[in-house]
Structure 1
């Protein structure tokens, strides 16, 4: 049986390795992300495609089968907002943390925006949309 300490240590090591990798391939660089979103440089897009291939193979080898019973009503608008925010700020929620760790302090504004956006989403969802919390952690 795994102890909490071992799991925490494994998560920390995995997170550091992921952060190092993501930073070294340029995902923390706004200019690189902008070139990906404007289709000027396919390198990062190909990195995403490679990651999808790796996870599909891993799921196939591990025989992971997840079929949702239904799609949560907030998936499509959430995906649109996520992509729009990513294109504007130059990072998904993890990238600004990598940017701050690399000394790029303006990323703190993006982190603040993520926090405000999550709180606003929770408020709008419960007050107006009546979406169930599902597995999204709203």
Structure 2
């Protein structure tokens, strides 16, 4: 497997990512510890806010509680304001590099993927964000959900060229 800035060669064919990582400086293993610390903090917030609760997720899908909608809505708002501020003030990364936003092309497959994702989320009470927080909280049955997510990702990668856009 050959890796360059914008291209990965898989099975002899180039694969170009629609949302590439434009980072110019490669971070070393010790520099990546900051992501571990942020991830652990993020997991703690998920647990304390009850975002990983199967019951809270079921309440959301049954329209019985505003809790999860409030969390998701506030996350969207924070993301929108953050992107606006990054673009307006040309805010750089911690390494001083420019943040580049690439336009994304809509494909009808995103609708199908969203429906499958939502169905899986409703059935299992887990989406990729809180999966690890659930496992870390002792809900080991979620390992089945994690294995299923990995298997689904592999199957998608295997069938991607045969699926409709």
Where on the TM-score scale, by shorter chain, does this alignment land: which range? Answer: 0.7 to 0.9
Count matched residues. Answer: 130
CA RMSD of aligned residues (A): 2.2
For residue 36 of structure 1, the aligned residue among 60, 79, 83 is 60
CA offsets per residue over residues 11-68 of structure 1, 9 Å max, x none?
Answer: 1111111111111111111011100111111011111101111111111111178462
- What's the counterpart of residue 135 of structure 1? none
> Whole-Å Cα distance in 1 between the matches of residues 157 and 26 of structure 2?
34
> Which structure has the larger Rg over C-alpha atoms?
2
Q: TM-score, normalised by structure 1?
A: 0.82
CA distance change for structure 1 residues 94 and 50 in 2, over 3 Å: closer, same or farther?
A: closer
> Whole-Å Cα distance in 2 between the matches of residues 97 and 5 of structure 1?
21
Does residue 8 (structure 1) correspond to residue 42 (structure 2)? The answer is: no
For residue 94 of structure 1, the aligned residue among 122, 129, 142 is 129
- Larger fraction in strand: 2
| Unmatched tracts of structure 2, length 5 or more | 1-24, 88-98
Q: TM-score, normalised by structure 2?
A: 0.70
- What's the counterpart of residue 147 of structure 2? 112
For residue 163 of structure 2, the aligned residue among 98, 123, 129 is 129
| Unmatched tracts of structure 1, length 5 or more | 132-138
CA distance change for structure 1 residues 57 and 32 in 2, over 3 Å: closer, same or farther?
A: same
